[in-house]
């Protein structure tokens, strides 16, 4: 990717496509007269007559052949009323352009930064949102079709027309691209078929990432997990011919391994439900049950590229949940890694067993605070729908800090309560310390609350992304399929801690 670090004018851009934001009232737009002089008075007439759509996220594409012989087309991006423009709206506007670029096979663009700036959002912020939004929108879901002979298009060059400092604009655009690339990597992982993305292959992916970014990494195989008694992951894995893996990645930014943010991801690469078997329709799409692991790996990719001054630990429990003569059954009692016993009432409540062992391991490896991320329950969808991530916490201050990052990135998170009565129901069993499925009522709370039993007194946040990790239809920031939700928020939290 070539991010041009020389300021361009309308006359000197060499890209074939110029992107310009247009607001309802062009008199509010910074330096609009410069473009009007370049293009001619016709542009003002078209705007007055509504030939160029200024409604939010509406595109108007016109051909160009005049002063600049290399410029072939201009894409006008509707921004609506300036007073309504936010960072979220601008990100979405650029994502809309990214989709148009992909469908039209446009590989290089110039962006007039001033046209997107407002009194509240400067050109440097616009550059970040452009890098993030364009690449999120440009992403398409990989497929395995053999009938297409079309040559794929790649977005490989960007230039800037700007009055701001070009170095800051280019750097911010690059950071935005880093964030979007990591989201897109997470999307691709979620979209991979389960016969391709096994626990072993997920671990191999993590090893490649660790090598690229000079992370410390440890991968424990089945024999090693048996040796240390990681009973939760092993129990879930019993029905499978694919071995489990426990993946631990360390990014040490300071001389001492202290003040460590722990990120724990559920990496169930396919979930049949086990003997508590899912119905036929409920099983389709369960390749994405490792969305929490994808979110954690995506965040680590950003951390590796940006190198914040903050220690981070990532732990991922990876396995599938299958049916066989050796699989766990309802009524089984298992012993977890921390020694607690669990009565299994529902083998389809397997993710919490995996997360519990991974959480204990993260604490042992020095995590000072914990965020677990998982496609954990259908209950969160019933409660909040498909556009909101559900959360639990045991630490108000930590959750407020996290929410600052989530709000900045436009990822909606809603906290649910975890009461003493909920904890009593999780701890209710005639034969064990805990049970893994107290009931359908309050399902999301019970699922996350179970993990909280293993976080214990460590500051902890649980994120249930079952509704937000996968999109059933194309949306403004991307296509149908894996969304990469929480990648940007987790990385932003780490960045905020580093800057405190």
Pair 232, 334: CB distance under 8 Å: yes
Residue of 312, 309, 365 lying closest to 337 (CA atoms): 365
Q: Secondary structure of the chain in the HEC alphabet?
A: CEECCCCCCCCCCCCCEEEEEEECCHHHCCCHHHHHHHHCCHHHHHHHHCCCCCCCCCEEEEECCCCCCCCCEEEEEEEECHHHCCHHHHHHHHHHHHHHHHHCCCCEEEEEHHHHCCCCCCHHHHHHHHHHHHHHHHCCCCCCCCCCCCCCCCCCEEEEECCCCHHHHHHHHHHHHHHHHHHHHHHHHHHCCCCCCCHHHHHHHHHHHHHHHCCEEEEECHHHHHHHCCHHHHHHHCCCCCCCEEEEEEECCCCCCCCCEEEEEEEEEEECCCCCCCCHHHHCCHHHHHHHHHHHHHHHHHHHHHCCCCCEEEEEEEEEECCCCCCCCCCCEEECCCCCEEECCCCCCCHHHHHHHHHHHHHHCCCCEEEEEECCCCHHHHHHCCCCEEEEECCHHHHHHHHHHHHHHCCCEEECCCCHHHHHHHCCCCCCCEECCCCCCCHHHHHHHHHHHHHCCCCEEEEECCCCCEECCCECCECCEECCCCHHHHHHHHHHHHHC
CA–CA dist 391, 413 (Å, integer): 7
Question: Which tokens belong to 260?
Answer: 């460590």
Residue of 165, 148, 377 lying closest to 271 (CA atoms): 377
Choose, from 8, 102, 352, 363, the residue flagged as catalytic.
352
278 classed as catalytic: yes
Q: Is 474 left (phi over 0), alpha (psi -120 to 50) or beta?
A: beta
Choose, from 278, 415, 425, 427, the residue flagged as catalytic.
278
Residue of 294, 469, 497 lying closest to 402 (CA atoms): 497
352 classed as catalytic: yes
Active-site amino acid positions: 278, 352
């Amino acid at each position: 990717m070539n991010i041009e670090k020389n300021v361009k004018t309308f006359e000197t851009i060499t890209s074939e496509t110029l992107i310009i934001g247009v607001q309802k009232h062009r008199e509010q737009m910074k330096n609009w007269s410069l473009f009007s002089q370049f293009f001619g008075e016709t542009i003002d007439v078209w705007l007055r007559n509504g030939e160029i759509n200024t409604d939010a996220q509406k595109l108007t594409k016109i051909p160009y052949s005049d002063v600049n012989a290399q410029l072939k087309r201009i894409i006008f991006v509707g921004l609506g009323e300036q007073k309504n423009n936010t960072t979220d709206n601008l990100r979405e506007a650029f994502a809309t352009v990214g989709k148009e670029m992909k469908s039209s096979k446009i590989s290089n663009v110039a962006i007039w930064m001033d046209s997107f700036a407002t009194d509240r959002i400067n050109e440097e912020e616009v550059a970040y949102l452009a890098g993030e939004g364009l690449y999120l929108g440009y992403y398409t879901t990989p497929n395995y079709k053999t009938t297409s002979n079309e040559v794929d298009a790649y977005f490989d060059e960007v230039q800037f027309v700007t009055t701001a400092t070009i170095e800051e604009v280019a750097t911010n655009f690059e950071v935005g691209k880093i964030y979007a690339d990591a989201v897109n990597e997470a999307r691709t992982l979620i979209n991979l078929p389960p016969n391709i993305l096994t626990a072993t292959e997920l671990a191999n992916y993590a090893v490649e990432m660790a090598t690229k970014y000079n992370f410390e990494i440890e991968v424990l195989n089945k024999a090693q997990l048996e040796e240390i008694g990681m009973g939760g992951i092993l129990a879930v894995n019993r029905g499978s011919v694919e071995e489990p893996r426990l993946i631990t990645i360390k990014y040490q930014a300071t001389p001492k391994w202290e003040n460590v943010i722990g990120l724990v991801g559920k990496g169930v690469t396919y979930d049949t439900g086990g003997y508590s078997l899912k119905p036929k329709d409920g099983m389709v799409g369960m390749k994405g049950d490792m969305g929490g692991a994808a979110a954690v790996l995506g965040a680590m990719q950003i951390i590796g590229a940006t190198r914040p001054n903050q220690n981070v630990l990532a732990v991922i429990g990876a396995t599938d949940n299958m049916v066989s003569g050796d699989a766990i059954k309802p009524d089984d009692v298992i012993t977890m890694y921390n020694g607690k016993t669990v009565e299994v009432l529902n083998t389809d409540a397997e993710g919490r067993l995996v997360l519990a062992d991974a959480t204990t391991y993260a604490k042992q490896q020095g995590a000072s605070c914990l965020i677990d991320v998982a496609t954990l329950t259908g209950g969160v969808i019933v409660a909040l729908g498909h556009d909101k991530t559900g959360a639990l916490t045991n630490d108000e201050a930590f959750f407020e800090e996290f929410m600052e990052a989530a709000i900045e990135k436009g990822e909606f998170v809603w906290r649910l309560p975890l009461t003493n009565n909920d904890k009593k129901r999780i701890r209710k069993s005639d034969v064990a310390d805990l049970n893994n499925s107290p009931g359908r009522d309050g399902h999301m709370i019970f699922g996350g609350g179970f993990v909280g039993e293993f976080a214990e007194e460590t500051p902890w946040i649980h994120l249930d992304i079952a509704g937000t990790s996968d999109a059933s239809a194309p949306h403004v920031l991307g296509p149908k399929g894996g969304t990469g939700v929480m990648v940007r928020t987790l990385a932003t939290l780490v960045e905020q801690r580093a800057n405190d």
